[in-house]
Amino acid sequence: MNDTDVAMTDPCKVVLLATDGSEFSAGVESVGLELAQLSQSHLHMLRLLLAEPGSDAALVEEQDANLKLDQIASQCLASGIEHTRMIRSAEDPTTGILTSAQEIHAQLVIVGRRGRRGLAKNNVGEATTRLLDKLECSVMVVPRLFSFWSSGVLLVVDPDETAGDQAALVAIRLAHGANIPLTILLVADEKAEADRDANQIVNRLVALAHLHGVSAEGLVQSGDLDEVVLGVARQRSDDLIVCEPRDRSMFDRLFNINDLVKLIGKANCPVLVVKGTPKSESA
């Protein structure tokens, strides 16, 4: 693969790993360390202090945060990973992570599917759901018991997405880095004409993957997004799902239907939502 061709789509050079120190963040920490080493990233390790500043609870929380970040930093040093510790006070996890991501111009934020605080719907925490909407950079949501992908990458193509091949190039890069195959899936409408267009889209992306030296196969299937994607992932043993944000209809927003959140909540592996990266101060 020509790394120069995909360097501008690499979402992994400035990574924010958000941990709350609980068992829900075990997968986040494992994936963050592995990905940082693989991509030679700068890993920013974030722990938020949510207790009232100056309170006894805040002191205990800060001691626990320092201990946890010391543990992660030791692993970074052992693996040669550039890293920065970040302990920040925040009123709530969403605001704290958003502010921290903006502070470092993060290209990728890695979060758990849920944390020890707050409510969860569809097995996805309220803070994570909000971050998926509000973060301008890419977001990877990791189940708590996951370690790292090693079997295959599943790229989910949105036929209505006009942002180009950004998610495809990211998926190709990750598959190449882990030396695993790529599956390119488009969940199409039932109409025959739409299916013909879908096959053209998928075939073009398969050719793009092959051009970069990645083994890839394309699929076009119809049905509910979460059911189709999870079914293909199980059949092909893919353990990383890559997709782009999906626009919701007015009906879906009215009734609080979010297929992407449903997919993340049911997946047994990380889901990477590829977005544009925020501009740096020098841009």
d(CA 39, CA 261): 27
Q: How far apart are CA 214 and CA 279, in angstroms?
A: 30
- Quickly name the fold that domain 153-273 has: Rossmann fold (3.40.50)
pLDDT (average), residues 262-269:
93
Give pLDDT, residue 114: 73
Averaged pLDDT of the chain: 85
CA Rg value for the chain: 19
Residue intervals in the chain for CATH 3.40.50.620: 3-142, 153-273
Burial class of residue 52 (count of CB atoms within 10 Å of its CB; 0-12, 13-18, 19+)? exposed
pLDDT band at 21 (very low <50, low <70, confident <90, very high): confident
Report the relative pairing of strands 240-243 and 138-142 from DSSP bridges: unpaired
**What confidence category does residue 145 fall into, taking pLDDT thresholds of 50, 70 and 90?**
confident
Better-predicted residue by pLDDT, 192 or 80: 80
pLDDT digits (tens, 9 = 90+) for 127-137: 999 999 999 99
Q: Could you tell me if residue 84 is left (phi over 0), alpha (psi between -120 and 50 degrees) or otherwise beta?
A: beta
Whose tokens are 């692993």? That residue is 75
Average pLDDT over residues 73-99: 95
Quick one: average pLDDT of 66-83? 96
**Structure tokens, 1:** 């693969």
Looking at 3.30.800.10, 3.50.50.60, 3.40.50.620, 1.20.1630.10, the CATH number of the domain 3-142 comes to: 3.40.50.620
Mean of the pLDDT values across residues 62-68?
A: 94
Q: How far apart are CA 41 and CA 165, in angstroms?
A: 22
> CA end-to-end span of the chain, whole Å?
28
7: its two tokens = 């360097």
For 101-130, the pLDDT digits (tens) are 999 999 999 999 975 555 445 568 889 999
Beta-carbon count within 10 A of 197 CB: 15
